[in-house]
């Protein structure tokens, strides 16, 4: 299924690609937390 990759054998992606993945995951995480917070406010009728 998946072949193990030892140290030094992986092909590194460019830094910009890796940073864009990090930024995308961080943005989606913030949006998910905001959505849950607003949903809880709506359910609990907090003003």
Confirm whether 40 is domain-assigned: yes
Confirm whether 4 is domain-assigned: no
Overall domain count for the chain: 1
Confirm whether 6 is domain-assigned: no
pLDDT at 35 over 70: yes
Q: If DSSP codes are grouped into helix, strand and coil, which group holds residue 42?
A: helix
Confirm whether 28 is domain-assigned: yes
Chain segment 4-24, per-residue pLDDT in tens: 777 765 667 788 988 999 999
How high is the mean pLDDT of the chain?
87
Structure tokens at 2: 């998946």
Confirm whether 32 is domain-assigned: yes
Domain containing 34 equals: 15-47
Per-residue DSSP letters for 5-36?
--TT-SPPPPHHHHHHHHHHHHHHHHHHHHHH
């Amino acid at each position: 299924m998946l072949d193990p990759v030892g140290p030094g054998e992986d092909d590194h992606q460019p830094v910009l690609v890796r940073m864009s993945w990090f930024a995308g995951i961080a943005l989606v995480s913030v949006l998910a937390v905001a959505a849950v917070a607003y949903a809880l406010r709506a359910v609990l009728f907090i003003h």
